[in-house]
Structure 1
């Protein structure tokens, strides 16, 4: 090993030892640290290593803007982003130690003008961050820490609204399947479209319900594709592969629901096999339920971090 490599390794080990000393002092004194950090507000952030998958803890300056906890990926104005920032781009779930409190959070990366506005307010509180930005060509990221474990009496958030929409669609899908069972099993005497009832019979009601359900599902997925997904992709880069997969699943669902809609609209009791119709709908139902479950598992935490759901009139 060359003398330069030996010197670099020694400096790195000294930095790790210094950092561990800050961490130990922080934990021993409910977040208070002396020395060069005397009077500063620090937090400890534990991320998951992007390459190793191991927990990595580092002390960071903790800022607040409008009551929201923020950290800044300044690295003292270094030309490259710090390792912890790359970690949250791979996995945004972190553990935060703030004073004597420890909580899980999801770290989001505000884009563009929102980042600029937050950074300006940070510099107004701590001008040193402005000096760091002058010393580097990279745009220093601001990272927002959203607590995951929200109070049970909180207002409804966007992730909660997603679950509500999914539950409504699940209910509509269940009702659609029940109506198809009516047709398949002949539980009603007016299966034929021309039945002598005021509403057109079981088959007419099935067609109407199918159209309503397919339209509602289309609106929901279109809203995700052009609204929620691009915002989530900007703020949580780690979710990009998941969001791409969900968008592709939406295309598959469209093809399947169009096939089912055609089968329902063209179905003739004296000509077509209702069991085939039920099998097609069961295929759609199983795929949709798996899709809803996976979206909720992957996205609800991130959506809830985005803030309250809008009021619906």
Structure 2
């Protein structure tokens, strides 16, 4: 029987951890262990990694040692791109902001408490980073809605409007299917679609202007580690604005009875998928932090 892979071993550790309230046997007997869930820097998929940790003067620290390898671990690349992470310790699970730290005094204390990390540093020429995991306030039943909840509600409304536009295009297609080809469908149906699209495009533009001018500066001031994520989101807003304009032009340029509604549907679906991808990315990376700054 082949030896288990590293991935299989990690899965066993994660399963043991969650099945036993954070306690894992050999070879981790007596170790302080947590599960760190990051978002893939490129894939945006969630990845969970078991890590040792230390609590030093109220600071929860993990060490990007990778066993003394000459390359940083993948989870470090992920959290540098997406600093909002999920931490599991014992039976507790909470969101946190991960910050890479350069603190010689803290490193000395880490090595004093866990000398093995000093051995790892001697094995590699790279400087092994320390990462602080700063907890964000967790949502409770008593919690009032925060800014993150408001952003999610705005996304849900925008998504509902997108779905309604697609439904109106489907109705145009159904109308075309039940009449002689190229017969003019009811003009009012296209007018309704144009009006809804106009309202959506204006609302999305206002939503992103509010984030760029209000929410994002607040986040940057409170959580400096989020700066790369916020820069990426602001860059995405430029692309989203172009997508928004393309939706408006597509709907405005559609001529009932002349243009094929199926072509309109196909092009719209691609643009709608792009907007939904952006909404999902924004929610995954900053909603917990937005809720935290309202407390």
TM-score of the superposition, structure 1-length normalised?
0.52
* Aligned match of 2:249: 262
Alpha carbons 2:243, 2:275 under 8 Å: kept: no
Provide structure 1 residue ranges, at least 5 long, that are not aligned to the other structure: 1-45, 62-70, 72-86, 110-142, 309-313
Shift of the 174–278 alpha-carbon distance from structure 1 to 2, 3 Å rule, reads same
Alpha carbons 2:85, 2:95 under 8 Å: kept: yes
Answer yes or no: is 1:152 the counterpart of 2:141: yes
Shift of 1:304: 1.1
The C-alpha deviation readout for 1:184-206, integer Å capped at 9, x for no partner, is 231798x848x5xxxx5101111
* Aligned match of 2:214: 227
Q: Which runs of 4+ in 1 moved over 6 A?
A: 94-97
Tell which structure's C-alpha radius of gyration is larger: 1
How many residues of Structure 1 are paired with residues of Structure 2 in the alignment? 197
Provide structure 2 residue ranges, at least 5 long, that are not aligned to the other structure: 1-33, 37-49, 60-75, 100-132
Alpha carbons 1:159, 1:299 under 8 Å: kept: yes
* Aligned match of 1:286: 273
Alignment of 1:1-313 (within 5 A): 55-60=52-57, 91=83, 104=94, 106=96, 146-148=136-138, 150-186=139-175, 192=184, 195=186, 201-307=188-294
RMSD: 3.9
Shift of 1:252: 1.5
CA distance in 2, matches of 1:147, 1:186: 52
CA distance in 2, matches of 1:297, 1:92: 8
CA distance in 2, matches of 1:167, 1:283: 18
Shift of 1:105: 5.7
CA distance in 2, matches of 1:267, 1:95: 49
Shift of the 255–107 alpha-carbon distance from structure 1 to 2, 3 Å rule, reads closer
TM-score of the superposition, structure 2-length normalised?
0.55
Shift of the 156–269 alpha-carbon distance from structure 1 to 2, 3 Å rule, reads same
Alpha carbons 1:179, 1:206 under 8 Å: kept: yes
Shift of the 163–153 alpha-carbon distance from structure 1 to 2, 3 Å rule, reads same
Alpha carbons 1:92, 1:108 under 8 Å: kept: yes
Alpha carbons 2:197, 2:248 under 8 Å: kept: yes
Alpha carbons 2:35, 2:88 under 8 Å: kept: no
Alpha carbons 1:103, 1:147 under 8 Å: kept: no
CA distance in 2, matches of 1:295, 1:281: 21
Shift of the 177–243 alpha-carbon distance from structure 1 to 2, 3 Å rule, reads same
CA distance in 2, matches of 1:237, 1:47: 23
